[in-house]
Chains A and B, each alone.
Chain A
């Protein structure tokens, strides 16, 4: 049983501290949809997604009403599309358009999985598929794309890294009317996970069962508030406070995930423990770090504070859920976090510091606007650096940068909604072209040989 104080604590978390279920994401296998041509496959993809996820919005609304906790996003992830159109990669676009149509029909906000896994090598059909990404992201509204270019087990596919630099640039060019917004729907991963419920990097792995429900919780505001109550605690006690808070948040996620899976006739997959910020005041990961005692996020000490936060969130959450997965940790998307935006505006947060932060937290260089004239090779080199951090540290890392066409350092860009706004951050201008153009594969590290 619970007591009055606990009831009011939960109500305050929801009403004042932005506790919410960030996403219910249904993973759907598209492998049974493969037909002899693109048209028939696209039709089956549309029908399958619409049939399986038909009730996702309705059920999410019901659950939000019954349990009194907002469920912000309803999403779908699918089998990497490169696999289901391997026989006709030139027509991959048709599948992308069918997915967008299904997403609109269902009323979900994003659908992830226009993806390819090329961490060890790029097959010919995948090469063609990758080239289709910019046009699909430009023509669709809700389809998200991700490409895995590295893993701890196989090393870094530098040919794919080089290609992705150009694909990011091309995506920005094709969506320049909206300041390169297409790039906000494109993530380049190392060690991508197969059960991630968060966008833009969600896809439904081939090791998953047919239909799965994965849930992402959130609550940076709740963690910050809990820390406000222990202003003079030492860092042991701060970590304990974060753990206890993460436990409660995750339990709410576990409850919703189990119930959603039951009502949607799907398997319960995982709860993703991530602290995902939004541009709204009071929903910032940066402000948690500042609450721990940093004048502004990005200053010295930021990496240590973030490491502690990330670890405490995992420790608190792990016991609260029967299956933890996805990305699980603190997210640091610059344009989506009001504290990060302010720090970047003040010049306190730079690419190099962000890169260091990604070594100790969930994911990577996320939602960072960079000058539109950044060369493709520089973007590839940024991807390679992140992939190296992921590969060596056995963790997921990612790059989601937006080279905003026609804009440069000193300008700001507005993406709108949960994607937020950001100043353009400078990148190093010395060339990395020769390094990137060498191509090949950076071998897997020695410690990946565990067999």
Chain B
């Protein structure tokens, strides 16, 4: 099972480190990372394996939002199926 983490907002130092260490703490394994600057907005998309994660996905997603608030970014963790459903026929 995989999830997609998106981090958007104003570019700041150490974002990748903070998000990655949070995910590692939860047992999620980062498989892919790509980042871009879109209209002055930093955007990072991470594909993570959550097969080993013990906590409920919705709880991790909530904690991601909280982490985002703490570092002044928007962080979302979503089950990958929502993207598969919306973008693949």
Given contacts A1-B84, A66-B57, A251-B86, 5 further A-B contacts (CB under 8 A): A2-B88, A62-B58, A65-B56, A68-B78, A69-B78
A-side contacts of B4, CB under 8 Å: 7
Q: Contact mask A61-92 → B, CB, 8 Å, 1/0?
A: 11011111100000000000000000000000
Let me know if A11 is at the binding interface, CB within 8 A. yes
Is A2 touching B56 in the complex (CB atoms < 8 A)? no
Q: What is the chain B residue whose CB lies nearest that of A61?
A: B58
B23 at interface (Cβ–Cβ under 8 A)?
Answer: no
A10 at the interface (CB under 8 A from B): yes
Encoded as 1 (CB less than 8 Å from any B CB) or 0, chain A from 247 to 270 comes to: 010011011000000000000000
CB nearest to B78 among chain A residues: A68
In whole angstroms, how far apart are the Cα atoms of A329 and B31 in the complex?
40
Decide if A8 touches B87 in the complex (CB within 8 Å).
no
- Please give the distance in Å from B82's CB to the nearest CB on chain A: 4
Q: Is the beta-carbon distance between A251 and B85 smaller than 8 angstroms?
A: yes
- A10 near B58 with CB under 8 A, answer no
Give residues 24-66 of A contacting B (CB, 8 Å): 61-62, 64-66
B34–A66 contact, CB under 8 A? no
Determine whether the beta carbon of B58 is less than 8 Å from that of A6: no
* B8 & A8 in contact (Cβ 8 Å cutoff): yes
Q: List 28 A-B contacts (CB under 8 A).
A: A1-B84, A1-B88, A2-B83, A2-B86, A2-B88, A4-B45, A6-B83, A7-B45, A7-B83, A8-B38, A8-B43, A10-B82, A10-B83, A11-B6, A11-B76, A15-B74, A62-B56, A62-B58, A66-B57, A66-B61, A67-B81, A68-B61, A68-B76, A68-B77, A68-B82, A248-B87, A252-B82, A255-B82
User: What string of 1s and 0s marks CB contacts (under 8 Å) between B45-58 and chain A?
Assistant: 10000000000111
Min CB–CB distance B6 → chain A (angstroms): 5
Partner of A2, one of B36, B61, B87: B87
Query: Could you say which of A6, A67, A251 contacts B79, with CB atoms under 8 Å apart?
Result: A67
Residue of B nearest to A258 (CB): B85
Give the CA-CA distance A248 to B74 in the complex, in Å: 23
A8 and B61 contacting across the interface, CB-CB below 8 Å: no
Q: How far is the CA of A68 from the CA of B57 in the complex (A)?
A: 10
Expressed in whole angstroms, the Cα–Cα distance for A65 and B84 within the complex equals 17
> Complex Cα distance A9/B84, Å?
13
Chain A: minimal CB distance from B11 (Å)? 15
**Which B-chain residue is minimally distant from A252 (CB atoms)?**
B86
A252 to B87 alpha-carbon distance, docked (Å): 10
Give the complex CA separation of A68 and B77 in angstroms: 7
Whether the Cβ atoms of A67 and B56 lie closer than 8 Å is no
A2 touches B84 (CB 8 A): yes
A2 proximity list for chain B (CB < 8 A): 83-84, 86-88
